Amino acid sequence: AQSVTQLGSHVSVSEGALVLLRCNYSSSVPPYLFWYVQYPNQGLQLLLKYTSAATLVKGINGFEAEFKKSETSFHLTKPSAHMSDAAEYFCAVSSGYSSASKIIFGSGTRLSIRP
């Protein structure tokens, strides 16, 4: 069984500050991990995904995430927050190549940016 936990339902940072959104996963097989962003009244958009290649994954809009197997973590970071980054962020896990695999989403972290 797989699960994902996002620590902190709400994170607030100042514009220009480091963004760190935490995600820990549980998986009995090598996981595939995703970060999605959701802006108000919109669907989800993929930021980045880890599929067992490089452990440091670069995504869109300056975001990146590092897969740490020993810590079962896949935290999302951005060096300098921008007002346009305000949104809800979802971490997700799947078991990868399998016709029966499905993606399990975390509960989400709402990111606010202070001017």
Query: Which residues are at the interface with another protein (CB under 8 A)?
Result: 32, 36, 41-46, 49, 51, 90, 94-108
**Which is closer to another protein, CB of 78 or CB of 89?**
89
Instruction: Name which of 70 and 98 has its Cβ closer to another protein.
Output: 98
Q: Which two tokens stand for residue 74?
A: 């896949």
Task: Compute the least distance from the CB of residue 50 to another protein, in Å.
Answer: 10
Query: For residue 92, which of 28, 39, 44 has the smallest C-alpha distance?
Result: 44
Find, among 3, 9, 85, the residue nearest to 45 by Cα.
85
Question: Tokens at residue 8, please?
Answer: 């902190």
N residues, the chain: 115
Shortest distance in whole angstroms from residue 21 CB to another protein: 15
- Of 16 and 96, which has the nearer Cβ to another protein? 96
**What's the min distance (Å) between Cβ of 115 and another protein?**
27
Report strand pairing: 109-114 vs 10-14.
Answer: parallel
- Min. distance of Cβ 46 from another protein in angstroms? 5
The distance from CA 56 to its chain's CA centroid, rounded to whole angstroms, is 13
**By C-beta, is 81 or 87 nearer to another protein?**
87
